Structure 1
Amino acid sequence: MLQPKQWDFWTWVTVIVYVFLLAFILYPLVSLFWNSFFNDKGDFSLENYGNFLKLKYYYGSLWNSLKVSALATVFAILVGVPLAYVTARYNVKFKGLIQILVIMSLLSPPFIGAYSWILMLGNNGFITRFLQDIGIPFQSVYGWKGIVFVFTLQFYPHIYLYVSGALKTIDTSLEEAAESLGRGAFHRLMTVTLPLIFPTLSAGALMVFMASFADFGTPMLLGQGFKVLPILAYEQFISEMGGNPAMASTLSVILIFCSTTILFVQRYFVSRKNYSMTGMRTPKVQSLKTLPKWLLTFGALLVACISIIPQATVIVTSFIKTKGPVFHPGFSLNSYKEILYRVPKAIAHTYSFSLISIVIMIVMGMLVAYVLVRRKSKITAMLDGILMIPYVMPGTVLGISLIIAFNKPPVILTGTWVILVIAYVIRKLPYTIRSSTAILTQLDKSVEEASISLGVPPMKTFFKTTGRMMAPGVMSGAILSWITTINELSSTVVLYTGATATISVTIYSEVFTANYGTGAALASILSISTLISLLIASKLSKKGLQL
């Protein structure tokens, strides 16, 4: 056992990070789990779990969550894989533009997509009215089918990005061997190419499923009575009738259990086979004749353009004249004037809270990444495992767990801006750490060793040498974390108060009160912020829009 005087800077970093994780991840989780075993009378009991298993109102929400998530994953694969294959293997035009549009659609929050499709395909949407005027019967986008539709367009970029990267680096020797045996192109794709990229494809599919399973905003806006588990947990926790925190805790524990199970199932299937390749013969881009090339280009652009429609819709509608919930002919800036008059604090809160969170994430991400990469041990391996817990925690669950843990003495954080910053850091820190570890593993240790050998202390060496070399990659990843932070809804909607409202929860409130013009203006601010942040990340990475 090391004595305190023998501890170096990195030992103290490890201890401090452990304290942070124990306080804000493990303690809230344990509190949540413990709270689920008490009924509404305060007695220790399994009543909540029993009610979940026997009442359709509860277990039906789990089935609904699994149904929409599974269908969204299947459709995302059906859209993302062909798009990735076409852009990776053929000389289609406008590849850069297609990738920008796809990434933009991914980084926009799902609830903005839901809101946009309500404007277009809702009960009074302009496309709905147009179809009805020309005699085509059309049901609105509301319901579980609409949720699956929005999830598919929102999350298929996960599949596209994962698969396109794998297709560009796959070893083609097995494909060529299958071709020499007379296998057709489609048969080679199904029996050789897709099995080879299965680990990458399954990782993308897992991202789609987890994002759909944990999402709160889209089902809340489009569900109209269709309950999924995150919504039910939220409603049980925050109810006009007083709420049922114990049942909300039970539903949250079930959410975490399901997410964790899905993660282990995916890893089990990947580990069953060996997918290693030499990677020495990467595929060449095939040149197509003019007609097939332009047909595939049109198809790829069509998919990318459809997925970017929500952002375009909110920006355009934010300038249309409104009177209450009704849009009128003509354009004006009234919606922007109204939000600057009514909710300026929500805009200020969004950027200030996110900025504080990102600063903490960058510092912690760089320090923790160094510990994980350069100071490997069983202790740091356990630290890495704890850091992965937020991957399987839906935002609503995180919010509920933090309130249960910090709603009573000795530490009361509920209702303050501090608890929002903590939630953002916990939710997004793993992504910043991953970008930091990725860049650090590529840096040669010899520069650090030379600095230390010249008498520079390890801490000073890190901040003056290693940290500076890590900065471009870290900042690029941090900006992407910033984008998801300013758009965060699921944890914010549980934790915010009127004094700490952000843009995302204000949009949510505006849509529910039918203030579509102001909602569109706020959504446009988020979309423009996302685009600017993405361009900055691209500039910093110096590699274009490669995620």
Structure 2
Amino acid sequence: MKRIRKFFNFWNVVRIVAFATLAVVLIYPFFSMLRESFVSQETGGFTIANYLEFFKYPYYYKTLFNSLSVVITATILSTLIGLPMAYITTRYNVWGKPLINIMIILSLLSPPFIGAYSWILLLGRNGFLTNIFRNIGIELPTIYGWTGIVLVFTLKFFPYVYLFVSGALKSMDSSIEEAAENLGVSGIKKLFTITFPLILPTITAGALMVFMTSLADFGTPMLIGEGYKVLPVLIYEEYMSEIGGNATIASMLSVIIIICAVAILLVQKLVIAKKSYMMSSLRPPKVVKLTKGKRIGLTAFCLIIAGIAMIQQVVVVITSFIKTNGPIFVKGFSLDSYKMIISKLSTNISNTFLYSTIAIIIMVIAGLLLSYLIVRKKSKVNSLLDILIMFPYVIPGAVLGISLLVAFNKGPVMLAGTAWILIIAYVIRKLPYTIRSSTAILYQIDPSIEEASINLGVSPMKTFFKTTARLMAPGVLSGAILSWITTINELSSSVILYTGKTATISVAIYTEVVRASFGTAAALASILTVTTIVSILIFNKISGGKGITM
């Protein structure tokens, strides 16, 4: 009896519940989707014909090349922008660093498809800038297709590289660069032979985030791609086809996109595994004071890039107050678009905040308990738990949505069409933010504090809730706010899982843009933008003004 009680102690129960939950909502759905991808459309038996069909027909395999083309190009351009931006803002005394940081973070944390929508308003066939240049006899290149997708992805996701590299450069040991200068290596040569190679893991991590996020993006290519089709869009169209969704082909395409994501992740690990990047970080680099001319030039460069990246939010907010006549904007300002969404789309707004709030409560509780298991109760089993929790981080939202529908669109557990399937998708996909933030702060809490409490007769469980959890709260809440921001903006999984009753703001924006109801789409997007800004301010308050880092 004592052995049974010892085995079923609090942390073992947490571990068992965690694995059981992940088995039901993560492992089972993905294996269901994998099994579905090998099902014959004619006989219902096992077959590899679906995969052969992918590589046989250009309609299918060209989407893979299209995806890799826009994603690789956007990743390279994002790195070329984010890397110098990070170096300039961390190493030189440019003006307005806090403002630049806020602008860049806002451009990253806004809904991905808002960028596409904003550029349509600016450079679309009837766009604001398009008409200005057309009136003076200049016809601008089209924003639709490959060019538009790459532009939106680059401006949207370069902040990943910027934030990752900024954190690494701030904590880098300056003695290494000083030693290089003493040996005659300076300027650009020092950057490319010493500084950047030392932070290569961080640079590749930022580039990997750009690659993964743009590979998974559904809204941008759907809105601005037109005839240029990529894998997430093809997956959506196959599953949601008007002539009967094809779950088999959609599952097969989902497996292929997962293979691409995992392959790139392995390549990144192989690249950084070849060398050691350890350093003491005892002497952070000093900020270099520039001459007035160089300071003005570099400040202007950073503000222009950050301004172009953030212009999407400005365009959206202004547009939301412009009068509309059907799909056409007319002269004058009004609140008609807001009145329209309150009367017709209030359910979408309430759904978004209700589902996100429930998801965040679950994530905070899970973040507290699971991060403690991972950090304080280290074992191979808990390492496996950590891997399973992080796995959805690299999986496209549309793929996760399809896996959940394949698994739960029939008995014994029928969740398709309910709010719970959306909440589960949000928790699975966004929990890694809270887990990573929680584990980071837990590493900073001295275990002797808990040991002292236990030595005074307080049980380990009470010690955790009364002492450790309170000390972890700032880190957990910081991660939860990031999870909250990305949850309210989530489209790719929502557009697969929603029904008329469970539609969210992101889904409504997407459908309004498709219907050419740009005024109401802008009003909805403005609500998300304001919510994001307020959430960032709360994050900065909780984190003590440290700001968002990666």
**What TM-score results when the alignment is normalised by the length of structure 1?**
0.98
Displaced runs of 4+ in structure 1, greater than 6 A? none
Question: 1:433-490: per-residue Cα shift (whole Å, max 9, x none)?
Answer: 1111111111111221222222222222211111111111110110111000000000
Within the alignment, does 1:418 sit opposite 2:420 as a pair?
A: yes
Matched-pair contact (CA < 8 Å) for 1:128–1:140: no
Partner deviation per Cα, 1:124-160 (whole Å, 9 max, x = no partner): 1110111111111212211111100000000000111
Residue in 2 that maps onto 1:405 = 407
Instruction: Identify if the C-alpha distance between structure 1 residues 145 and 2 changes in structure 2 by more than 3 Å, giving closer, same or farther.
Output: farther
The 2-side partners of 1:174 and 1:470 are apart by 34
**2:12 maps to what in 1?**
11
| Equivalent residue for 1:166, pick from 160, 165, 168 | 168
- Partner residue of 2:345? 343
Pick aligned residue for 2:444 from 442, 452, 455: 442
> In the alignment, is residue 293 of structure 1 matched against residue 299 of structure 2?
no
Using the TM superposition, give the Cα deviation of residue 359 of structure 1 relative to its aligned residue in structure 2, in angstroms. 0.1
Q: CA RMSD in A?
A: 1.2
| Residue 259 (structure 1) aligns with | 261
**Which stretch of the first structure deviates more once superposed, 164-173 or 381-390?**
164-173
- The C-alpha deviation readout for 1:302-325, integer Å capped at 9, x for no partner, is 111111100010000000000111
Q: What is the match of residue 473 of structure 2? A: 471
| Structure 2 partner of 1:147 | 149
1:15-43 deviation digits (Å, cap 9, x = unpaired):
00000100011000100000001122223
Q: Which amino acid is the alignment partner of residue 96 of structure 1? A: P
Q: Do the aligned residues in 2 keep the contact of 1:448 with 1:466 (CA within 8 Å)?
A: yes
8 Å Cα contact 2:164-2:203 kept in structure 1: yes
Structure-2 change in CA distance of 1:9 and 1:312 (3 Å): same
Instruction: Give the distance between the partners of 1:167 and 1:455, measured in 2 at CA.
Output: 45
1:133 is aligned to: 135
For the pair 1:503 / 2:505, whether they are aligned, the reply is yes
Unaligned runs of 5+ in 1: none
- Show the 5 A alignment for 1:2-401: 3-6=3-6, 7-41=8-42, 42-401=44-403
Q: Per the alignment, in what secondary structure is the counterpart of residue 92 of structure 1?
A: coil
- Rounded to whole Å, the distance in 2 between the matches of 1:382 and 1:292 is 50
Q: CA deviation at 1:180?
A: 3.1
Q: 1:1-24: per-residue Cα shift (whole Å, max 9, x none)?
A: 995322210000000000010001
Tell me whether 396-405 or 370-379 shows the greater mean CA deviation.
370-379
Q: In 2, Cα distance between the equivalents of 1:330 and 1:231?
A: 36
Distance 1:284 1:316 in 2: 41
Work out the CA distance in 2 between the residues paired with 1:351 and 1:279: 42
In the alignment, the residues of structure 1 paired with residue 279 and residue 527 of structure 2 have an alpha-carbon distance, to the nearest angstrom, of: 45
Per the alignment, do residues 319 and 484 of structure 1 end up closer, same or farther by CA in structure 2, a change over 3 Å counting? Answer: same
Tell me which residue corresponds to 2:494. 492
The 8 Å contact of residues 93 and 287 in structure 2, kept in 1 or not, is answered as yes
SS at match of 1:328: strand
For the residues of structure 2 that align with 1:2 and 1:529, how far apart are their CA atoms? 51
Deviations 1:180-222 (A, max 9, x none): 3433411111111111111110000000000011110001001
5+ unaligned residues in a row in structure 2: which ranges? none
Q: CA offsets per residue over residues 273-320 of structure 1, 9 Å max, x none?
A: 111122233211111111111111111111111111000100000000
Helix, strand or coil at the partner of 1:500: coil
Distance across 1 between alignment mates of 2:201 and 2:413: 44
**Partners of 1:206 and 1:26 in 2: CA distance:** 24
Residue type matched to 1:367 in 2? L
Worse-matched range after superposition: 504-513 or 434-443: 434-443
The residue identity in structure 1 corresponding to 2:66 is: N
Contact 2:373/2:382 (8 A) holds in 1: yes
AA partner of residue 273 (structure 2): S
Tell me if structure 2 keeps the 8 A contact 1:350–1:486.
yes
Indicate if the aligned counterparts of 2:367 and 2:434 stay in contact, CA closer than 8 A. yes
8 Å Cα contact 1:396-1:491 kept in structure 2: yes
Distance 1:388 1:471 in 2: 21
1:131·1:137 contact (CA, 8 Å) conserved in 2? Answer: yes
Q: Is the 8 A contact 2:434 2:478 kept in 1?
A: no
Give the letter aligned to residue 365 of structure 1: G
Q: TM-score, normalised by structure 2?
A: 0.98
1:443 match: secondary structure: coil
Q: Secondary structure at the match of 2:298?
A: helix
| 1:543 maps to amino acid | G
Alpha-carbon separation, structure 2, partners of 1:507 and 1:180: 57
What SS class does the counterpart of residue 94 from structure 2 fall into?
A: coil
SS in 2 for 1:473: helix
Q: Secondary structure at the match of 2:501?
A: helix
Deviation of 1:375 (Å): 0.8
Letter in 1 for 2:167: G
Alignment partners' CA distance in 2, 1:485 and 1:211: 14
CA separation in 2, counterparts of 1:2 and 1:436?
A: 33
1:504-537 CA deviation, whole Å, 9 max, x = no partner?
0000000000000000000000000000000001
CA contact (8 A) 2:437 2:475 kept: yes
Distance in 2 of aligned mates of 1:544 and 1:323? 45
Distance across 1 between alignment mates of 2:135 and 2:186: 47
